[in-house]
Each structure stands twice: as C-alpha cells, then as structure tokens.
Amino acid sequence: MQRLKIDQDIKPLSEVRIGIAGYIKQVRDTKRPVVITQHGKGVAVLLDASEYENMQERIELLTDVQTSLGQLASGHGITHVDAKNKVLRKVNK
C-alpha cells in the first residue's frame, strides 16, 4: 500500500458522498487509501480491496510470528534439528 498523501487523501464526508465513484477510482489507481472525515475528525478509510486483502495477510503473518515468539519465550519451542526430523518422519510415512 502506498503512503497516504495528506493534501490529496483526506476528504470530508460531504465531498466523498457527492463524488464517490471518483474516489473509488483514485483509490484503485493510486493504491493509497482515502481518509474520510466528519466534523473534522477521521471516521472511515476507503481502501482498495486487494490492498485490504494484502494488509489482512500481513496482519495474520505478524500475529503468527508474535505467537511463535511468545511460545519460544515460554519454553514451548523445539530445536531446528528436532523440527526437521519431525517433518521428515511425516513426509516419509
């Protein structure tokens, strides 16, 4: 996902409501989100669907890494050699 450009990508709800098709095209073309404001405060983000999917995949991966690090810190991990042998035993069955 591209970085937000504050001067181009923050829009009031009243403006988005009038030209939603244009903002959808902008998000699709630039791969940058549009922050929608109401009464001067950010209330929603318009995001390209594929960018959203990519973001969800990255979050899942980072969550898995965090879980793994927590398990290792608690002593629930196994050595590389043990993991390799375990996988090879399953593959060779």
Report yes or no on 27 lying in a domain.
yes
Q: Which residues of 62-74 are buried (b: 16+ CB within 10 A; e: fewer)?
A: eeeeeeeeeeeee
Domain residues for 26?
6-48
Report yes or no on 40 lying in a domain.
yes
Report yes or no on 11 lying in a domain.
yes
Residue 18 has pLDDT above 80, yes or no: yes
> What's the average model confidence in pLDDT over 50-69?
95
Residue 18 belongs to domain with CATH number: 3.40.1620.10
Report yes or no on 15 lying in a domain.
yes
Say how far apart CA 93 and CA 91 lie, in whole Å.
Answer: 6
Report yes or no on 77 lying in a domain.
no
- The percent of residues in the chain predicted with pLDDT above 90, rounded, is 77
Report yes or no on 64 lying in a domain.
no
> What's the average model confidence in pLDDT over 10-34?
94
